[in-house]
Structure 1
Amino acid sequence: MSNVSIAKGSCLCGAVSVSTTSMSNQVGACHCSMCRNWGGGPLLVVECESDASFSGEENIGVYQSSEWAERGFCTKCGSHLFYKLKQNNQYYIPVGIFDNDKGLVFEHQVFIDEKPEYYSFANETKNMTGAELLAQFEPPLSK
């Protein structure tokens, strides 16, 4: 995993800004039913480890989407800000909110077993089922 120096971005209305020094250059897509319900399609994210700082925190709403994860959004414009694993504060941030997308590679897709038939990405990626992804965590997560 290679990193860019400092990545910055903001929500659609600019009320919330994010910065990180740990942004992966590998973009991942999640096809799980919750991500598709949240955004109307797959969630395209970059991993930012636990290194994400936000300004405008009073405008961040948080939804506890499972026992192990929460989703953040701007309460003013509704932009998705993060998916965060609670056990290690690991942030997955939608790639589209960052100002710079140079050097990014669409690298993997998860919950490929939940991807609907009506769309398909042409990129060659690593693909994992939901069970394969959840089994990687200690202790294993259950959907």
Structure 2
Amino acid sequence: MSTSNIVKGSCLCKAVSLSTTSLNHQIAACHCNMCRKWGGGALLAVECGSDVSFSGEDNIGIYQSSQWAERGFCTNCGTHLFYRLKQNHQYYIPVGILDNVEGLVLEHQVFIDEKPEYYSFANETKNMTGAELFAQFAPPDERQ
């Protein structure tokens, strides 16, 4: 792919940078308790498949947040770098760390049943409860 299709981003201190050529332009908002604890609010992320490259990998910390997923962060400045599914190494990158990306649309919200009442997005989106998400994506032994 040409370099014009490469999307880049970095953490706040620039100790870690990333690039991908597989950016889904649909933003997902996750309202689960874990995402809100992690970042103080909903996680707004874009799916990048397994096509994500990092530099400064010595500065990436990994937190095993569940049996099926892990979260990456910069050990220097604390910036959230990714949510990654372990089974297929599928990355969800927080949209705020990406540089100069245009054409993004908030398309869906997950764990809508865990969203607190004190905020709301104006966009019309597809919404899924946590149970609906688990039924669709979680490994069979993890479904509730």
Q: For the superposition of Structure 1 and Structure 2, which TM-score range results when normalised by the shorter chain?
A: over 0.9
Per the alignment, residue 110 of structure 2 pairs with 110
Q: How far apart, CA to CA, are the structure 2 residues paired with 1:89 and 1:18?
A: 15
Query: Once superposed, what is the RMSD of the aligned Cα atoms?
Result: 1.3
Gaps of 5+ in 1: none
TM-score, with length taken from structure 1 = 0.94
Shift of 1:7: 0.6
Moved over 4 A (4+): none
Instruction: Report the TM-score when normalising by structure 2.
Output: 0.93
How far, CA to CA, are the matches of 2:57 and 2:138 in structure 1? 30
Give the aligned partner of residue 67 of structure 2.
Answer: 67
User: Please, which runs of 5 or more residues in structure 2 have no aligned partner?
Assistant: none
Query: Corresponding residue for 1:10?
Result: 10
* C-alpha distance 138-112 of structure 1, shift in aligned 2 (>3 A): closer
Give the C-alpha shift of residue 72 in structure 1: 0.1
Q: Which residue of 1 aligns with 2:128?
A: 128
Q: Distance in 1 between matches of 2:29 and 2:56?
A: 27
Which one has the bigger helix percentage? Answer: 2
1:80 equivalent to 2:80? Answer yes
Which runs of structure 2 are paired with 1:42-61 in the superposition (5 Å)?
42-61=42-61
Q: Matches of 1:58 and 1:142 in 2, distance apart?
A: 34
Matched residue count: 140
Distance in structure 1 (CA, Å) of the matches to 2:14 and 2:122: 32
Distance in 2, Cα, partners of 1:138 & 1:9:
28
Task: Give the aligned partner of residue 36 of structure 1.
Answer: 36
> How big is the shift at 1:135?
1.1
Letter in 1 for 2:73: F
Deviations 1:97-130 (A, max 9, x none): 0002311011000000000011000000000001
